[in-house]
Amino acid sequence: MSGENKKNIKNTNAKAKMKKSSSKPTTKKNNAQFKSKNTKSAENSKSKKQYRRKQEPKVNKPPIKIAFLGGLNEIGKNLTVFECNDDIVILDCGMAFPDGDMLGVDLVIPDFTYLEQNKDRVKGIVITHGHEDHIGGLPYLLSKVNVPIYGTRLTVGLIENKLKEHSLDKVSLHAVDAGGRVKLGCFDIELIHVNHSIPDAVGVAIHSPAGTVVHTGDFKIDCTPMSGGMIDLSRFARLGDEGVLALMADSTNASRPGFTATEQTVADSFDTLFRRAIHSRIIIATFASNISRVQQIINCAVKFDRKVAFSGRSMVNYMNVAKELGYLEVPDSLIIDIDQLKDYPMEKVVLVTTGSQGEPMSALSRMAYSDHRKVSVGAGDFIIISANPIPGNERTVGNVVDELLKRGCEVVHESMYEVHVSGHACQEELKLLHSLVKPKYFIPVHGEQKHLRKHMDLSLSLGMKRENIFIGDIGKVLELSENGMKEGAPVQAGKVFVDGLGVGDVGSIVLRDRKHLGQDGLIIIVASLDVYDGHVISGPDIVSRGFVYVRESEGLLDEVKERALEILEDCARRNIHEWGVIKNKIKDDVAKLILQRTRRSPMILPILMEV
């Protein structure tokens, strides 16, 4: 090969190497430019999506409103209203027993005015269990707002029996098992099994567009209940994992430390007491609705070969319903009529009765005061009061116990032996449920102010923020959403008194008059006046009731008569014929006279007639 050709090959190879080496950085540069271009494109696309997302309106969940018509700052009368998307669902509808100042009142129910005004929006009533403080107001509400009722089988059976007494036979009742769900408008109500002092009790999970609200109802945690199995804690835990907007929990025992004792404790105590009363007639007073307690009594009666009788209308009604529905296991021929007690030796019978709260008209109270038509008590009777006094009833229960002791009875009550355990959760049980449910907001319910406040303290100790806790009151409305909690405009609420067949016709003024009459009595002043000139034709006659004994106070009543006559004649001379003016003058002057003489203020009632 010539030198020139070798030189050309070298030049060609050099040029190729230069071309090859120069092509590598060019490729890297192009890749970098391509990547940069794609990155910018992705960033632009992402920013466009973010911009579009900002431009799209955010869909807020609707709020849920909770109106409290009963069950707060009081014991009993439980009624809560839930509203969302123009739909209303009612949870429970109870009653309360009158206190000592409600003279003549039979029972107290919530004010239903708000529900009457919105009855077209009410989709249904859900009942947690069959106690009177949760179902006792239903007949009075259903007579005004007729909507379907949902509850477990025993609860519905007890409601049906109650409605028959009030001749309400056109109400739609639906039995739902624990674990079941009910669709009411935009609400999806889930029933959750809990333990309480009556079978078939449930809490509820209220699923709504606003979120889930869990209401425990009355509950406790009992690992060995008499019936129905343990509370469904696993479901509460799953709800907590899914997310709970608010928890509403029973506060009755929030001030009691520890755990509530199991019902099995009472069974052991009954066994001991039955052995102790081997030669006595046993009389046991308990709540008519405490079917599990009655089952324990029946089991002991079978064991010790005794017959069982029931006393008290509510007791008989509850036991009949429980037996028909299979919640009470009673051997054949064990139950006898109360009239058959005299046909058996005292040591062979057990009488189960109402009156554990010392109610004046209850069976046990009538026995204590020798007013029972079929049962007389005395030496040889062993009486067990298997219930805690409801706050405010301690004195009446104590009076009944004293009367029974005076008659020679042996009396055992809750403070002496474990013959009663509560159906409500104590502090450690409440803490456990809070920890499982993990709510965003918390509303303590069912209790007086001291119970609600103590329950709030428990939730604070578990890390709940104070601003996420609401202490409610009757008539208040709470509005909840994922964005916050606020108080809404209050609704009409309060107490309505039932007196005989009258509902709401007894108010604060009537009660004030009854109290006045009960404390100081009544004086009636009757006179006949001339229709033309207003002078007295006959009278005035003085009638005293509950003020003084007439025969021993004739001088005082003569003074009253003279003073009333002076006033009437003075009005006639001054040509005063307006009866309102005349009556007020008599009331004022006679009241001053009696106050000076006796330091008492009876009610003065002038009755004037024209002749």
Pair 53, 107 in one domain: no
Give 103's pLDDT tier (boundaries 50, 70, 90): low
pTM for this prediction: 0.77
Of 18, 43, 58, the residue at which a domain comes to its end is 58
Name the β-bridge partners of 330. none
Residue 26: how many other CB atoms lie within 10 Å: 9
- Of the pLDDT bands very low, low, confident and very high (cuts 50, 70, 90), residue 292 is confident
Confidence band, pLDDT 50/70/90 cuts, at residue 517: low
Same domain? For 225 and 362 the reply is no
Residues 6+ apart with CB under 8 A from 578: none
486 and 394 within one domain: no
* Same domain membership, residue 451 and residue 329: no
Query: Do 361 and 474 sit in the same domain of this protein?
Result: no
- Residue 512 lies inside a defined structural domain of this protein: no
Same domain, 195 and 305: no
Q: Mean pLDDT throughout 301-321?
A: 91
Q: Is residue 471 part of a domain?
A: yes
CATH code of the domain containing 370: 3.40.50.10710
d(CA 561, CA 523) in angstroms, rounded, equals 11
- End position of a domain, from candidates 413, 443, 472: 413
Q: Which of 370, 387, 413 is the last residue of a domain?
A: 413
pLDDT band at 266 (very low <50, low <70, confident <90, very high): confident
Q: How far apart are CA 145 and CA 138, in angstroms?
A: 10
- 335 with 240, same domain: the answer is no
Question: Would 511 be classed as within a structural domain?
Answer: no
> For residue 514, is it within any domain?
no
Conformational region of residue 179, where left means phi above 0, alpha means psi within -120 to 50, and beta covers everything else:
left
Same domain, 335 and 375: yes
pLDDT of residue 548: 62
Distance CA 287, CA 414 (A): 13
Residue 493: domain span: 64-258+422-499
- Catalogue the active-site residues: 250, 424
Q: Of the ranges 1-10, 320-329, 426-435, which one carries the lowest mean pLDDT score?
A: 1-10
Which residue do the tokens 């030669």 mark?
A: 279
Tell me the pLDDT of the chain averaged across its residues.
84
CA pair distance 582, 563, nearest whole angstrom: 13
Backbone φ and ψ of 223, nearest 5°? -75, -20
Which CATH number belongs to the domain containing residue 593 in this structure? 3.10.20.580
Lowest-confidence segment of 75-84, 170-179, 236-245, 406-415 by average pLDDT: 406-415
Angle between helices 449-461 and 427-437 (to 10 degrees): 60
Read off the CATH number of the domain in which 219 is found.
3.60.15.10
- Specify if 504 maps to a domain: no
In tens, the pLDDT along 468-506 reads 999 999 999 999 998 889 999 999 998 887 765 556 555
CA angle 115, 119, 123 (to 5 degrees): 105
For residues 65 and 70, give the distance between their C-alpha atoms in angstroms, rounded to a whole number.
15
Residues 377 and 269 in one domain: yes
> Do 296 and 160 share a structural domain?
no
**Do both 100 and 248 map to the same domain?**
yes
Do residues 243 and 272 share a domain?
A: no
Structural domain contains residue 10: yes
119: amino acid identity, one letter = K
From CA 126, how far away is CA 121, in angstroms rounded?
15
User: Using one digit for the tens of pLDDT, what is the confidence trace for 181-229?
Assistant: 999 999 999 999 999 989 999 999 999 999 999 999 999 999 988 888 8
508 domain-assigned: no
Domain count, the chain: 4
Q: How far apart are CA 441 and CA 317, in angstroms?
A: 40
Determine, yes or no, domain membership for 284: yes
